[in-house]
Amino acid sequence: MLLPNILLTGTPGVGKTTLGKELAPRAGLKYVNVGDLAQEGQLFDGYDEEYECSIFDDDKVIDELENQMSEGGVIVDCLGCDFFPESWFHVVFVLRIDNTVLYKRLETRGYSEKKLKENIQCEIFQVLYEEALTSYNEEIVHQLLSKSR
């Protein structure tokens, strides 16, 4: 029996990476940060000047992950989730956090005022939760509220 594949998604700064890195060894799963994977393999399709971030080449990311995902036992940490095949994941966790805490975390990262506002709005309007619900069977999509400060 294959170990489950888990997707961690949510607004930047909600704790996806922290949770993924702590959970993976405890559960005997492999942790993959898609941002790091894309950086290492140069899996980009350009740069978005307005949002000050690289744009993933979805097809290259999928090709890079396909073998690992078919083997099972992978925790994937990624901001967006609508480009992954639905069949890859057994459970999807959308991490959430209090907006005041999120604002402080993103400010500490040096986000511009525009980027701060966009990400806070994304969290308020549950954009990534809605994306997960439309991308996967809602029975496997769960919200996790971070209580850490």
Say whether pLDDT at 148 is over 70.
no
> Are 132 and 141 within 8 A, CB to CB?
yes
Confidence of residue 50 (pLDDT cuts 50, 70, 90): confident
Confidence of residue 53 (pLDDT cuts 50, 70, 90): confident
| Amino acid 52: pLDDT | 77
Phi, psi of 35 (to 5 degrees): -60, -45
Average pLDDT, the chain: 95
The helix or strand, by DSSP H or E, that contains position 102, with its residue range, turns out to be helix 99-108
- Euclidean distance between CA atoms 16 and 96, whole angstroms: 9
**pTM metric for this prediction:** 0.94
Q: Where are the extended beta strands (E) located within 38-90?
A: 44-48, 53-56, 74-77
